[in-house]
Structure 1
Amino acid sequence: MATIAVGIALWAVALVVLLIFRPAPENEWWIWTCVTGIGFGFLGMWLVRRPRS
């Protein structure tokens, strides 16, 4: 669980850096890569905490 939280934090830091120092227009997909990484991180955290039946 801590590994997932660290991964989410790293993606969030990368997102903030990219929002401050905007990439060139052809590299704006980097921003969406960070957003996707954060989203998948939260999905992974939900899957890990989910009770098993």
Structure 2
Amino acid sequence: MAKWTPQHEAPEPLEGPVVATITGGTIVWFALFLVQLPFYGWFDDHDHLWWLWTCLAGGGLGLIGVYYVRRRDAAIKRDATRKSAVE
């Protein structure tokens, strides 16, 4: 296994508009759910009802994700403010 151990430092993680990305994805999941909702009968007849519930679950998990990344972003900003006040 030592042969496969990387010999270089890992790069720094990329930071971007995380809150906006997760919020946008959550909106897309809920929009897909709402678009498919009028076709509930068709999905039920063709055993594709899981498509509808997958979109709803994606939206629900996205709400948890939005909560998480907003708190993470606030904690990062608090830490940066604290570090700049100390220096």
Shorter chain as denominator, the TM-score bin is: 0.7 to 0.9
Once superposed, which parts of structure 1, at least 4 consecutive aligned residues long, lie more than 6 Å away?
none
Larger RCO: 1 or 2 (CA < 8 Å, sep 6+):
1
- Where structure 1 has 5 or more consecutive residues not aligned to the other structure, the ranges are none
Identical counterparts, % of pairs:
38
Specify which of 7, 29, 47 is matched with residue 11 of structure 1: 29
C-alpha RMSD over aligned residues? 1.7
Q: How many equivalent pairs are there?
A: 53
Partner Cα separation in structure 2 for residue 42 and residue 17 of structure 1: 19
Scaled by the length of structure 1, what TM-score is found? Answer: 0.80
Q: Counterpart amino acid of 2:62? A: G
Gaps of 5+ in 2: 1-18, 76-87
